[in-house]
Structure 1
């Protein structure tokens, strides 16, 4: 692992740990909060999050790197199934959990801020990609120390949204998405 990858991932883990400890010290019973069902409805935060996720991907659809289609044919069917299931579940829970719009949980607000930071880095990663020569190595590059930034940043962000909303289903969807999405990107990077 590169030093920059280690620093970025360690920083993310430390920030997550700090917010977790802060939340634990200010909440009487954290596990009880995770047992509550989501407040169903359209989430404004979730909708904005999905727009930040989808707009670069829609643009990417018109600017795919040379050789991507051939590489996509060799993708693992199991990883692809995990990726698709994770995408559908994550999108459904992100857009429909109104707890994402609740900013009154001050200690846990750190998770939302961390998610926003990761998504801003994700947007900057796409700007870098679109300004590059758009090769497969550009697509599967690291950015700001995050390995496979195009895959890892949104997965980390979805996971943190799940923690912020105290939504076990969304956290599970993030793990499923991560197995498939990061796994496929890792396969492609190894082929380069």
Structure 2
């Protein structure tokens, strides 16, 4: 890990933000009734984690073909699964039930998959800052979505 610019993190952030921008115009009809009761502590933790993950752009990555490249491959697989999750959602009737339906047996896939992707990216880059940021994000982001899922079911 060294100070610089991570183009891999930038690619991952673009893969993360594009579906979320599209989602903003395709929210489930009943989303407002769920979001108004969102846990404020988890929301704050999520926001802090998001900022810290974005800051990961300032830690350079060097692709090297060592056994560690497997971590990068896993990170990319999780991001591709995240994209597929969104395709499934956007093709659905777009209800909260659709948003929290199973995706390949992964619980709250829309929250879990990007967290796993960035965690494996942090491991690949041997970037303790990114790993810490992802753990903070995981607590807030996955926690919020587990609460939504519980209410949907």
**TM-score between both structures, scaled by the size of structure 2:** 0.96
Shift of 1:52: 0.4
Distance 1:83 1:137 in 2: 22
| Moved beyond 3 Å, runs of 4+ | none
- Match among 85, 94, 103 for residue 63 of structure 2: 103
Distance (Å, rounded) in 2 between the aligned partners of 1:141 and 1:88: 28
Could you say which structure has the greater relative contact order, defined with CA pairs below 8 angstroms and 6 or more residues apart? 2
**Other-structure match for 1:156:** 116
Between Structure 1 and Structure 2, which shows a larger proportion of helix residues?
Answer: 1
TM-score relative to the length of structure 1: 0.77
Residue from 176, 179, 182 that aligns with 2:142: 182
**1:146 equivalent in alignment to 2:106:** yes
In structure 2, how many angstroms separate the alpha carbons of the residues matched to 1:168 and 1:73?
Answer: 34
Task: Give the root-mean-square deviation of aligned CA atoms.
Answer: 1.0
1:113 corresponds to 2:73 = yes
Equivalent runs, 1:116-127 vs 2, <5 Å: 116-127=76-87
Gaps of 5+ in 2: none
Which structure 1 residue ranges, 5 or more long, are not aligned?
1-37
Matches within 5 A, 1:1-192: 38-93=1-56, 95-99=57-61, 102-192=62-152
